[in-house]
Structures are given as C-alpha cells and as structure tokens.
Structure 1
Amino acid sequence: MELSNAGDHFSTQMKPHSSTPIVNNEANTIRITHRSERRFLTRLLHLILRPFNNHLGRPSKPHPPGSSPLKPSNAIRKHCSVTNRRDEATGIYIADLRPLLTPEAKVTKHIYYFCGGGWQAPATAQHWQTCSKLARQMPNTAISIVSYPLAPNDPAPKTFPQSLALYRRIMAQSVEEDHRVILAGDSAGGNIVLAVVLEALREDFEADAATRPPCPVAIMAISPSTDLRRDNAEIEKIKKHDPILTPLFIKSTARAWAADWDPADRRLSPINADISLFARAGVKVNGITGGYDILGPDGRLFRDACAKAGVSGEWLDWDKQMHCFLLTWPYGLPEAREAMGWMIDVLKEV
C-alpha cells in the first residue's frame, strides 16, 4: 500500500495486492493491509521510550469517581468548537467536536470515541488531536469523545452497565437524528466498544421482539485489548520488542478493570463473546494491530475470529509497530501518519 499526505490531509492509495483477504474465509469478508516498514524516527522513538516503559501513561493517583468533563487544549479550540454535555440518564460526560470552518454542515454520520489509558486515565493530548483531525477531515461527520468512569474507583462492574445504557441512548438518538453511528476506541477504549456492542447485540437477538434496536454501522478498534486473561504465550515472546507495555502492567490494569468479575467474562474479554453477532447485525469491525505490541497477538486472534464468523471489515497490521502507534502521528512519525490516513479513508467509506 502506498500512502501519501499533503499538508494537513492524509490519504491512502492502495495497490491491488496490498490488501488481501484473510485465509479460511470463503466470503473474504475481512481484508488485511500488511505493512512492515520501521523508519529511522520510529526506531529512535522506540529506543527513547523503552527505559521508561514502566512509567509512561501511568496515572499518579486514582481518577476521581464518576465521569468528568473533558478539557481540550487551546490548540484544539483553534480548529474545532468543543461542547461538553452530560447524559442525564447515565451521568456520563461527552465532548462534541465540530470543525470551525464548517460548523453548520449536515451531519449524516456520528463517531463516538472511547479513549484508552488502561481503563484508568482520561483522554490525552494525542486523543484530542486525533479526534480533531477526524472532525476536520471527515465531511458531514460529528465526532464525540466519551468520558466513561475509570478504574479503580469505577471498575467494569460499575462502568460497564453505564456504558451499555449510554450505548442504548446513543443508538436511539441516531434514529431521531437520522445519522449512522460508528463506535471507535484505542486499547482499553477499543475493548469497551467491542464488548458493549457484542453484549447489546446478544440481548437484542435473545429478546422476543418484532423489531430489534438499531446498532452501529461499524467499529474501529485501534490496538484493542481483547482478552483480559493475559495468558497468550506470544506476550512473553514479544515483550522484549515492546517499547511501552510490559506483561506486569497489562495484568495490573486488567485486574483493576475486572475487579470481582472473572477476566474470562465476555463483557471483559470480547474474544469470548459470540462474535458472529456482528455478522448477523451487519456491523463492520475494522481495526489496527502492531507487531511490537504485546496486546497485538490477542487483537489478531479477535480479527481471525471475526473472519471465521463472516464479519466484514478492514484491518491494518503493521509489523514492528508499538501499541497504539497511530496516536503518535502529531509528532510527524511517517508510519503513524500513514496509519491515520488509512483509518480516515476506511471510516469515510462506512
């Protein structure tokens, strides 16, 4: 796949052989774009980060209980208007981003983004910049960041039901406002969107109803955490290459989020849910994985399970890239910028 960017715009131009269907899937519903480059700037970043991999992104103290309003930097407000609102039923705050140049454009698509951070940290500057880029480059699309309550004060047994209730309200609102919904998230956020949608679909298909509630048209999962058991043997093999995550850290964040739930519970580990529900509901599942990410093997297992279940989607699999490498695009790393362009192009087609 050849990718190019000009100024503030990222775009992708794919060669026919660069995006290939996964094996053992006659319907060719999952298509994977494989990349393997690791340029000098990325190598340098990995070397710089490795000595600090037990400290990066770790909150110094627990996040306060409940959902908190999100605070963008002044740099974000130069390009986007940001409105914080609180969902009255769930108490969850949502920040809506709209580009300043086209604030009145008709919205036909709405992306709700759940930020990663080990289920313990709020949105970072990189999350804000990524969502601002989506708002500016995706016509007729509203972008919202969801401030879900965080562990350890609000682990999954408390937050998951709230997130599921918020999902129901988002989908009902999409019918009222006549727009398509995409749920997106990175790492822990990717875990939540996958698990919440699968649980909602399970409830919907088990209900004896003439009509089923609406569901998203697509999901975008960036380096998602898909199995909180953390027992994949590949984790130990990859840990020497991962510049930011360690087995100790991902096990500790999983424990904090799970609390007294079994880590194998489908609401924690979407790999254990009925993934065929996505295919039955027509939800496309797209994603990004990196080869130097110890969560990558579980992400690829989830992708393969989607393929076997006949789920449609586009996946970018980039060897020698770290966890959530896409989020480093503001620093000029070419692989991250190209991954951002790939994601924007995929989301535009949904």
Structure 2
Amino acid sequence: MPSPQHLLLKQFLTAATAPLARRRPSIAAMRLSLEIGSLFQFLPWGVHLDCFSLEGMAAEWIKPENANPRRVLLYLHGGGYVLGSLNTHRSAVGALAQRCAMHALTIEYRKAPDFPFPAALDDTLLAYRWLLRQGYRPHDIIVAGDSAGGGLALALLLALRDNREPLPAAGIGLSPWTDLELPTATIRRVAHEELQLLEALAIRGWGGLYADTTPLTAPLVSPVQADLHELPPLLLQTSDSEVLYDDVLTFAAKARCAGVPVTLQTFEGLVHWWHLFWRFVPEARQALDQAAAFTNGIWAAQQAAARVLHSLRAPARRPDSRARV
C-alpha cells in the first residue's frame, strides 16, 4: 500500500495535470513547467556540483563527499526524449550517487523533435567514450537512467555490444521506456485513471517525434525488440500501476532468456517518476537504497572474482627441501 506521502503527491500531480485534458500545451511550455518545478529541488547535503562542457555538450559532475573517485555513474535523465534536463534530475541523481558512493556524470543530450534519433544515442556514446579516454575503466562505470533515459541507457549497452566496444559493469533502468510503440493493451489497462492515460497518450506521441523516420521497432529505439545476449547485469525498477510496467516485465523476461543477469524490483501503486520525489516519498528513498545495494553487489562480485583470479595466478609454494633432524 502506498504511503500517505505518495498519496498526497499523486493527488497533487492529478490536479496539476487536469488542464492537460482540456488543452494540449506545447513542448516548450511543458519544458518550462518542469524547469520551474526544478527550482525547488536541491542536491543532498555533502554532494558537490561541477558544471563543464563535454566536447561542446553541457555536462555535470555530481560528487558526493563519500564517493570512490575511480567509479562513475553515467546517468541519463528521462522525459520522453523531448523533456527533462540537467536541472530537473540533479537532485535525484545526487541522492542516488551519494547512496552508491560514486561520482555521477550527467549530460544534456539532444532532444526531439529538433534532434530525433540517433542524436541522443550519439551524445550518450560520446560521453561514455570520453570517460574511457579520461582513464576510467569500463568495469568501474555503471550506466543508469529513468524512463526514456533508462531506455537510452539500455540502447547504449546494445550499441556498445554491437560495436564490440568494452561494456560497463552494469546497467540500471528506473522505469525504463523499452517499447516506443506503447501497445494498445497498455492504453486500455491505464484508461481508468486520468493521470496515467494522459501520460500514455503523451509519450506515445513523443515516441514518434524521437524515432522520426526510423521504425519504432528498431532495436536501438525500442530495446525490447533487440537481441539481448551478452549484456552486463541489469537492475530494473518499476511500479505495477505505471504506464511502462508491462514493457519492463517483457524486457526483463526476454533478457533473462538471453542469459543476462536481471534484478527486477517491482513496487505497488506508485506514479511514474516517483524516484524524483525522494525527499518526501519514502518509496523513492527505498528504491534508491535498493539501487545502491545493487551497485554494492556489483563491486563485491568484482572483488571476489579478482581474489579468485589472483589465487589461481599465484605460484604454488615450493616445499622446504631442507631436512629436519
């Protein structure tokens, strides 16, 4: 059962989106609304911000004081490939990075409709390759994202695999958008609730803006359509009441059949993007804590494997040839 704080959040979001049922605001107006909302979101205490230009692209380092500087969380914000920015997700990324004790790199990737596919994926590949050129090792990088950013993180893994480039240690998808076709069955499932129906209809249109002339079924557009073999361990989080729930379950099942280690965590009755409201929604803090536990498990598995490899490579001790009288 969702918490009272989440119920209040849901009532607020329902009231705030009610005008959308009567008129369709422009993408520019929705972007402005999100930017205004982000003015009230702040980084957690003890997390520092470093803004810079990554080969001409706006980017940020988010650095918790407790972080291991060798490990990086490459985080891709959500927003249906048309909305969202560094500002809208900075607080939640900071909370996640602090829990994971990692530095986080976030980028202002290009968005539709001005820059359709593959612009966002190209920017993401640019950021990942830049990390490698800075000396970060692939097995010290975890790629993460929410909603469309989660789908973009999965597309990045697929593109790296197909290009035979080194893969990061793991991927994290927080309610990732894996199927831009958004099946009609999903629309029917959420049609009883105004907030979810509006989300479904909106992102269905945004999917077309992002794909543009590329088929919605292209694997790097809709990762659920891809061959998912040889991907690194994945963490997928979703709520059973949000629009993308069915797609996440389908992707998780397909990835497992391909031999990918998948950790699927489902929550009950939560709205899409609940992670962003971590300051006052306990389920958001719980989800971020579980994501941190997943990353800790990745590092622990690496250390265990390194110990085993070291023991196999260590020369056997020669017996003492000196006779004892």
Q: Same fold (TM over 0.5)?
A: yes
> Structure 1 residue 166: deviation in Å?
3.1
Does the CA-based 8 Å contact 1:98-1:135 persist in structure 2?
yes
Q: Which has the higher helix share?
A: 2
**Of the two structures, which has the highest relative contact order with CA contacts closer than 8 Å and spacing of 6 or more?**
1
User: Is structure 2 residue 163 aligned with structure 1 residue 203?
Assistant: yes
> Structure 1 residue 310: deviation in Å?
1.4
Gaps of 5+ in 1: 1-36, 64-70, 205-212
Does the CA-based 8 Å contact 2:81-2:206 persist in structure 1?
yes
Does the CA-based 8 Å contact 1:62-1:120 persist in structure 2?
no
Percent identity between the aligned chains? 24
User: Is structure 2 residue 40 aligned with structure 1 residue 80?
Assistant: no
Does the CA-based 8 Å contact 2:160-2:166 persist in structure 1?
no
SS at match of 1:154: coil
Does the CA-based 8 Å contact 1:38-1:320 persist in structure 2?
yes
- 1:215 paired residue among 167, 184, 198: 167
Gaps of 5+ in 2: 32-37, 299-325
Provide the rounded CA distance (Å) in 1 between the counterparts of 2:72 and 2:171.
12
User: Is structure 2 residue 254 aligned with structure 1 residue 305?
Assistant: yes
Corresponding residue for residue 31 of structure 1? none
- 2:176 paired residue among 199, 224, 249: 224
Does the CA-based 8 Å contact 1:108-1:179 persist in structure 2?
no
Residues 243 and 337 of structure 1, relative CA distance in 2, 3 Å threshold: farther
Residues 194 and 335 of structure 1, relative CA distance in 2, 3 Å threshold: same
Give 4+ residue runs of structure 1 displaced > 6 Å after superposition.
71-74
> Structure 1 residue 57: deviation in Å?
10
Does the CA-based 8 Å contact 1:242-1:292 persist in structure 2?
no
Residues 47 and 77 of structure 1, relative CA distance in 2, 3 Å threshold: closer
Structure 2 counterpart of 1:219, which letter?
G
- 1:348 paired residue among 277, 296, 308: 296
Deviations 1:63-116 (A, max 9, x none): 7xxxxxxx998943863322222222xx322200113x45xx652310011000
Aligned counterparts, 1:4-15, within 5 A: none
Deviations 1:184-230 (A, max 9, x none): 000010111101210220121xxxxxxxx321110110011101111
Corresponding residue for residue 109 of structure 1? 71
Aligned counterparts, 1:13-32, within 5 A: none
Does the CA-based 8 Å contact 2:233-2:262 persist in structure 1?
yes
Corresponding residue for residue 107 of structure 2? 146
SS at match of 1:127: helix
Larger Rg: 2
Provide the rounded CA distance (Å) in 2 between the counterparts of 1:314 and 1:269.
20
Provide the rounded CA distance (Å) in 2 between the counterparts of 1:185 and 1:74.
18
User: Is structure 2 residue 17 aligned with structure 1 residue 53?
Assistant: yes
SS at match of 1:156: coil
Aligned counterparts, 1:232-311, within 5 A: 232-241=184-193, 243-244=195-196, 245-278=198-231, 283-311=232-260
